[in-house]
Structure 1
Amino acid sequence: MYKSSQERMPIYEALQKYKDTRIVPFDVPGHKQGRGNKELTQFLGESCMQIDVNSMKPLDNLCHPVSVIKEAEQLAAEAFGAKHAFFMVGGTTSSVQAMVMTACKRGDKIIMPRNVHRSAINALVVCGAVPVYVNPGVNKELGIPLGMSYEDVKAAILENPDAKAVLINNPTYYGICSPLKRITELAHEYGMLVLVDEAHGTHFYFHDELPVSAMSVGADMAAVSMHKTGGSLTQSSFLLINNNVGEGYTRQIINLTQTTSGSYLLMSSLDISRKNLALNGKEIFDRVIELASYAREEINKMGGYYAFGKELINGDTIFDFDVTKLSIHTRDIGLAGIEVYDVLRDDYDIQIEFGDIGNVLAIISVGDTDLAIERLISALAETKRRYLKSPSGMLDHEYINPQVAMTPQEAFYADKRSIPIEDSTGYICSEFVMCYPPGIPILAPGERITKEILDYIHYAKMKGCFLTGTEDIHIEHINVVKE
């Protein structure tokens, strides 16, 4: 890439010019550069409100870019080594859904790990594609799902040679990476597209010591959460395409669901953050790796906790590990991850990314300081001192292999009835049940409800996990397919 080109920020520059020209707005939004909503302007600031604008000729149009947005997309593609990059303002959820719907039509098969984010299964509900689930490996000591095994993917491909695509989580929420290059090459041998949910892998593109990125190994599409580790505003994302994936058709798919009123706050944050990563990414992630590695070492010294890392690598289901992820196993101190999550927030004013049944995850970024890391380490040590107890009787796994009885679309739109969740064993689920974050379904539409799953849901509720997905907000009833 040319450094000079990456110094450009076309959307940011166009917005600055717009502000300087003192345009009188007779278009939307109705707050008219903040003048019509004083409280919001005081809260967000005049600079922010002045660039919360609608599409116009000098600022281009996200649905059909021809000038500054188009140029910004080209610079992003160059920075990420892609054929094209789309600015996405509906989060990486919209990027994942666009990938699936670009690759698959109604009835087409798609091979994917079952521990996908709900956005991927939502895409199946919308477009009618049929999932071929590859159950991930499971680390029994940590209780977490792992990556996709090469042999398991190969078996799925051989059993379903008519599948259109393979979708891969890389990395998982916990930092686990699959053998991405080998799976990509295998899928291409059978004429299948490779789609990568890279929501937690933005930084892979900007540091040689981190796991390989989707575009670098020849994957066809990747959904990249710039807001998670790339510095942009929440809800902003890139969708990258490669090889023979058509730019025009992909944009048509995106425009089926993405807003026609793209936020210039989100787009400019992508533009500015891309420049920062392209020019300074190596130094930024040197610092992140240093902070995360120090924290991992100190946490492991105190005992009880296990901040896991590259020692888990096995060349297959844990092909590589993202060392910027501070994933910490908590069960050995007698606390579920969600309980540690709550203690850190309620007692120490520390907000971490998520806690589940056995682990917590702290996201480390360039925005962190040495002092903040020390505060986290101290709070974990205090939590252990105050609450340490025997782990006996604790649930020891996060992932349960599903029994798939119907496609997600068939089950979601089927005739259904609501029954008490404790009476639902044996029925086919017609909706989602999941803990958020991370948003990986415990149950998805079309899966048979088992006693093991109900025990898990009961345990998660008891421990304080935030359960979502059901029509009944209290998760006391569940929609099942009428039989």
Structure 2
Amino acid sequence: MERLDQQRAPIYEALERFGKMRVVPFDVPGHKRGRGNPELVELLGQQCVSMDVNSMKPLDNLCHPISVIRDAEILAAQAFGAAHAFLMVGGTTSAVQSMILSVAKRGEKIILPRNVHRSVMGAMVLCGAIPVYVNPECDHRLGIPLGMSVSAVEKAIRENPDAKAVLVNNPTYYGICSDLRSIVKLAHDNGMLCLADEAHGTHFYFGENLPVSAMAAGADMAAVSMHKSGGSLTQSSLLLTGPAMPEGHVRQIINLTQTTSGSYLLLSSLDISRRNLALRGKQEFKRVSELAEYARKEINAIGGYYAFSKELCNGDSIFDFDTTKLSVNTLDVGLAGIEVYDLLRDEYDIQIEFGDLGNILAYLSIGDRPREVERLVSALAEVRRRFGGSKAGLMQQEYIDPIVAASPQEAFYAEKESLPIEDTAGRICSEFVMCYPPGIPILAPGERITKEILDYIQYAKAKGCSMTGPEDADILRLNVLK
């Protein structure tokens, strides 16, 4: 494949050319370049709404790209070191689901860690694949699930030689990485594919001294959230594939669920962001890493907080750490992570990424500057002084080993009944329950409900975690198998 110039942005260039053509729109969208919706123009601006156009010959078609979108995909593949890149406008959820649906059918197994995003489990419900969980090790001080140990993956492969693929988080939400190269080799040596959920690892492809990216490690597919650390618009993402994955088959799978009306605002943002990272990513992510290191040093000097980093690495379940992630344990301040999250927003006008029962995550990326970091550090010091206390009574353990009693698809579509949540211990759940963010299920369809899980849910609700998933939005009832 000929190498294209990374200074190009084919979709953006085509939109600019189209804008100069003064075409009269007798197609959709119905706002007709904003004329039919003046309030929308006021909110978003004329340039934005005039670029919200339909697929047409000069602008290509996302379902079957042959010109400018095709060139943008080639440029993305070359920038990320992939055999092919697919532009995704349904978020990384759509990329993850396409990845799973591409490799497994009903009744086929995928080996994966239990601390996966809900999109992985949603794909299992859709295609009927069966999860084989590798329970991640846990750091009891931090109360977080870690990566998968190579020996645990090896054991799962040995016990399930018919599995189709192994899925790895690269990294976890907290920045923890498994030994991806070794897991890829294990999968390939046993005739399996290796998939990576890289929702939080876009920068691995461009930064220095960061963990290995999925494509560099030889993985077969990777779902990459360009809108998280890569700077594109929310809901835009990439699906990367290695040479073993047939492009035509993957495109067919994507087209089963992805919209036929791809947003050119999202597509052009992917195009421009890829160009930005290809040209300036290395220096930008070096700056982000240095900013995160500075923040860690300052936060750890406050006392009580623990902003963790590479000192956790143990060569296996924490093989590497993403130093751009500003993950902070809060329990020694006497506050749950979700309480610090709420205080930062309500008292200091600082919106961080998430808080769980024991940790917070401040997401640093190419748009952050030192003065904002200084403000965060000062606010954390004040939170400790004003609201801190004893850690007595704070729940620490974050990860509970699941008991899988039925496949996610079987349980999701089975005959079910709704019970008060306190009466569900011992029953098999038929829906998801999760704190969002990060969107990792506490319960997934097909898992047995235990008293420990119910205690965890009640505690998380009491602390103010945003719980999502069940049909009953108040989570007073759960659907269980009859």
1:30 aligns to what? Answer: 30
Deviation string for 1:201-249 (max 9, x for gaps)? 0000002310000000110000000000000000000000002100000
Partner Cα distance (1:357, 1:62) in 2: 41
For the Cα contact (< 8 Å) 2:4–2:74, is it kept in 1? no
Partner Cα distance (2:387, 2:345) in 1: 15
1:120 aligns to what? Answer: 120
Q: Which letter does structure 2 place at the counterpart of 1:367? A: G
Residues 2, 210 of structure 1: alpha-carbon distance in 2 compared, 3 angstrom cutoff: farther
Paired residue secondary structure (1:391): coil
Partner Cα distance (2:52, 2:131) in 1: 40
Establish whether residue 69 from structure 1 lines up as the match of residue 69 from structure 2.
Answer: yes
Partner Cα distance (1:447, 1:370) in 2: 45
Instruction: Return the offset for 1:3.
Output: 9.3
1:288 aligns to what? Answer: 288
2:81 aligns to what? Answer: 81
Matched residue pairs, number? 482
Instruction: Return the offset for 1:449.
Output: 0.3
Partner Cα distance (1:21, 1:365) in 2: 37
For the Cα contact (< 8 Å) 1:218–1:243, is it kept in 2? no
For the Cα contact (< 8 Å) 1:424–1:478, is it kept in 2? yes
Partner Cα distance (1:250, 1:329) in 2: 40
Establish whether residue 405 from structure 1 lines up as the match of residue 405 from structure 2.
Answer: yes
Instruction: Return the offset for 1:388.
Output: 1.4
Establish whether residue 5 from structure 1 lines up as the match of residue 5 from structure 2.
Answer: yes
Paired residue secondary structure (2:87): strand
Deviation string for 1:351-405 (max 9, x for gaps)? 0000000000000112111110000000000000001111011101111001110
Partner Cα distance (1:104, 1:208) in 2: 34
What runs of 5+ residues in structure 2 fail to find an aligned partner? Answer: none
Q: Which letter does structure 2 place at the counterpart of 1:273? A: S
1:337 aligns to what? Answer: 337
For the Cα contact (< 8 Å) 1:51–1:265, is it kept in 2? yes
Q: Which letter does structure 1 place at the counterpart of 2:204? A: F
Partner Cα distance (2:105, 2:38) in 1: 47
1:417 aligns to what? Answer: 417
1:188 aligns to what? Answer: 188
1:364 aligns to what? Answer: 364
Partner Cα distance (2:3, 2:68) in 1: 19
Instruction: Return the offset for 1:290.
Output: 1.2
Partner Cα distance (2:123, 2:366) in 1: 33
Partner Cα distance (2:65, 2:39) in 1: 33
Partner Cα distance (2:109, 2:428) in 1: 21
Partner Cα distance (1:88, 1:219) in 2: 19
Q: Which letter does structure 2 place at the counterpart of 1:29? A: P
Deviation string for 1:136-169 (max 9, x for gaps)? 0100000000000100000000000000000001
For the Cα contact (< 8 Å) 1:149–1:317, is it kept in 2? yes
Partner Cα distance (1:248, 1:302) in 2: 54
Matches within 5 A, 1:11-410: 11-410=11-410
Partner Cα distance (1:231, 1:207) in 2: 14
Partner Cα distance (1:42, 1:353) in 2: 29
Partner Cα distance (1:262, 1:128) in 2: 27
For the Cα contact (< 8 Å) 1:128–1:409, is it kept in 2? yes
Matches within 5 A, 1:448-463: 448-463=448-463
For the Cα contact (< 8 Å) 1:298–1:377, is it kept in 2? yes
Partner Cα distance (1:259, 1:3) in 2: 29
Residues 46, 370 of structure 1: alpha-carbon distance in 2 compared, 3 angstrom cutoff: same
For the Cα contact (< 8 Å) 2:208–2:286, is it kept in 1? no
Instruction: Return the offset for 1:4.
Output: 6.9
Partner Cα distance (1:239, 1:4) in 2: 19
Matches within 5 A, 1:424-463: 424-463=424-463
For the Cα contact (< 8 Å) 1:90–1:235, is it kept in 2? yes
For the Cα contact (< 8 Å) 2:3–2:78, is it kept in 1? no
Q: Which letter does structure 2 place at the counterpart of 1:58? A: P
Establish whether residue 481 from structure 1 lines up as the match of residue 476 from structure 2.
Answer: no
For the Cα contact (< 8 Å) 1:357–1:460, is it kept in 2? yes
Q: Which letter does structure 2 place at the counterpart of 1:302? A: I
Q: Which letter does structure 2 place at the counterpart of 1:143? A: G
Residues 300, 2 of structure 1: alpha-carbon distance in 2 compared, 3 angstrom cutoff: farther
Paired residue secondary structure (2:85): strand
Paired residue secondary structure (2:456): helix
Instruction: Return the offset for 1:426.
Output: 0.3
Paired residue secondary structure (1:6): coil
Q: Which letter does structure 2 place at the counterpart of 1:441? A: P
Partner Cα distance (2:364, 2:147) in 1: 22
Deviation string for 1:42-63 (max 9, x for gaps)? 0000010000001000000000
Q: Which letter does structure 2 place at the counterpart of 1:324? A: T
TM-score (normalizing by structure 1): 0.99
Q: Which runs of 4+ in 1 moved over 3 A?
A: 1-4
Give % identity.
70
Instruction: Return the offset for 1:2.
Output: 9.8
Q: Which letter does structure 2 place at the counterpart of 1:457? A: I
For the Cα contact (< 8 Å) 1:435–1:466, is it kept in 2? yes
Partner Cα distance (1:114, 1:428) in 2: 17
For the Cα contact (< 8 Å) 1:3–1:279, is it kept in 2? no
TM-score (normalizing by structure 2): 0.99
Instruction: Return the offset for 1:325.
Output: 0.1
Partner Cα distance (1:111, 1:449) in 2: 22
Paired residue secondary structure (2:216): helix
Q: Which letter does structure 2 place at the counterpart of 1:5? A: D
Partner Cα distance (2:249, 2:388) in 1: 56
For the Cα contact (< 8 Å) 1:288–1:365, is it kept in 2? yes
Partner Cα distance (1:241, 1:66) in 2: 18
Instruction: Return the offset for 1:303.
Output: 0.7
Cα RMSD over matched residues? 1.0
